[in-house]
Amino acid sequence: MSKDDLINEVMNSLKEQGYLMITDDFIDHLIITLHANVTAINSLIEIVEVENKLLALRCAIPTGSRQVDSLKGLSTRIAEIAFNVEGVRDEQR
């Protein structure tokens, strides 16, 4: 059994027994915050990409493409978490 499978099994058991109840307001606020973080990271990605283009024009040094890739991965993971939280909210309603 993978770590994710175990976590899902435990969470489902807690929900079924009524031990895991999160208020709708908290979940809504969490979803808004997660989406705001994705938006902020995406803006940062755009800034870094422009900065990299400017640096590439000024000199022949390597740019921070790894930084952009890392930010894109982070943005994707946070978006996935937001959608999972939305799923939990929908299940509770």
Residue 17: inside a domain: no
10 touches 71 (CB < 8 A): no
d(CA 86, CA 31): 7
Virtual CA dihedral for 44, 50, 53, 58, nearest 10 degrees?
-110
Residue 16: inside a domain: no
Residue 11: inside a domain: no
d(CA 57, CA 16): 59
Question: What pLDDT sits at residue 61?
Answer: 59
Residue 8: inside a domain: no
pTM for this model (two decimals): 0.62
Residue 41 is part of which domain span?
23-92
Place of tokens 């640096």: 55
Angle between helices 24-58 and 65-92 in degrees, nearest 10 = 170
* Amino acid identity, position 75: S
Residue 71: inside a domain: yes
In the chain, how many domains are there? 1
pLDDT beneath 70: ranges in the chain = 1, 19-23, 59-64, 92-93
Residue 51: inside a domain: yes
